[in-house]
Chains A and B, each alone.
Chain A
Amino acid sequence: MNRSRTRLLAIPYIIWVAGFTVIPLIFIITKAVTDENGMLTASNLFAIFDPLHRKALMMSLLLAFISTVICIIIAYPVAIILRGSHIRKKNIILFVLILPMWMNFILRILAMQMLISNNGIVNHILETLELPPLKLINTPQAIVIGMVYDYLPYMMLPILNSVLSISEDVIEAAKDLGSDKMHVLLHIILPLSLTGVGSGITMVFVPSMTEFVIANILGGGKIQLLGNIIEQEFTVTMNWNLGSGLSVSLMAFVLITSFVFGRNNEDAAAGISI
Chain B
Amino acid sequence: MKITGVLGKIYIALVMFFLYAPIAVLIVLSFNASRSRVIWGGFTMKWYTALLDSRAIMTALGTTVALALLSALIASVLGLFGAIGIYSMRRRNYRIMLFATNIPLVNADIVTGIALLLWFVRFLPLGFSSVLLAHVTFNIPYVILCVLPKLRDMDMFQYEAALDLGAGEPYAFVHILIPQILPGVLSGFLMAVTMSMDDFVITYFTKGPGVNTLSTLIYGEIKKGIKPEMYALSTILFFIVLILLILVNLPYDRMFTRTRRVR
Residues of A bordering B, CB below 8 Å: 1-14, 16-17, 20-25, 27-28, 31, 74, 77-78, 80-85, 87, 90-91, 93-97, 99-108, 110-112, 114-115, 119-121, 124, 149, 152-153, 161, 164-165, 171, 181, 184-185, 189, 202, 206-207, 209-210, 212-213, 216-217, 227, 230-231, 234, 240, 243-244, 247-248, 250-251, 254-255, 258, 263, 265-267, 269-274
Contact = CB atoms under 8 A, between A and B. Distances in A.
Given A1-B159, A10-B86, A112-B22, A80 B100 contact: no
9 tightest A-B CB contacts, nearest first: A10-B85, A13-B82, A111-B22, A24-B115, A210-B108, A9-B85, A3-B88, A81-B8, A28-B115
Interface in B247-263: 248, 250-253, 255-256, 258-260, 262-263
A100 B20 contact: yes
30 contacts: A6-B85, A24-B118, A25-B115, A27-B122, A28-B115, A28-B118, A85-B4, A87-B253, A94-B252, A96-B16, A101-B194, A101-B198, A102-B198, A103-B234, A104-B214, A104-B234, A106-B200, A106-B215, A108-B23, A149-B18, A152-B15, A165-B260, A185-B1, A207-B109, A227-B110, A240-B118, A250-B108, A273-B187, A274-B194, A274-B245
Nearest to A146: B22
A111 B26 contact: yes
Contacts of A90: 252
A8 B85 CA distance: 6
A161 B259 CA distance: 8
Given A80-B3, A212-B110, A265 B169 contact: no
Given A77-B11, A111-B26, 12 more contacts: A7-B85, A27-B118, A77-B3, A78-B15, A81-B3, A81-B11, A99-B241, A100-B19, A111-B22, A115-B25, A234-B117, A274-B191
Interface string B14-45: 01101111110110010000000110000000
Given A10-B85, A10-B86, A149 B114 contact: no
Contact of B146 (A7, A13, A101, A273): A273
A10 B201 contact: no
A11 B137 contact: no
Contacts of A149: 18-19, 22
Interface string B197-223: 110110001000000001100110010
Contact of A234 (B81, B106, B114, B200): B114
B2 interface: yes
B234 A258 contact: no
Residue of A21, A114, A234, A263 contacting most chain B CB atoms (<10 Å): A21
B49 interface: no
Contacts of A99: 241-242, 245
Contacts of B242: 99
Contacts of B3: 77, 80-81, 84
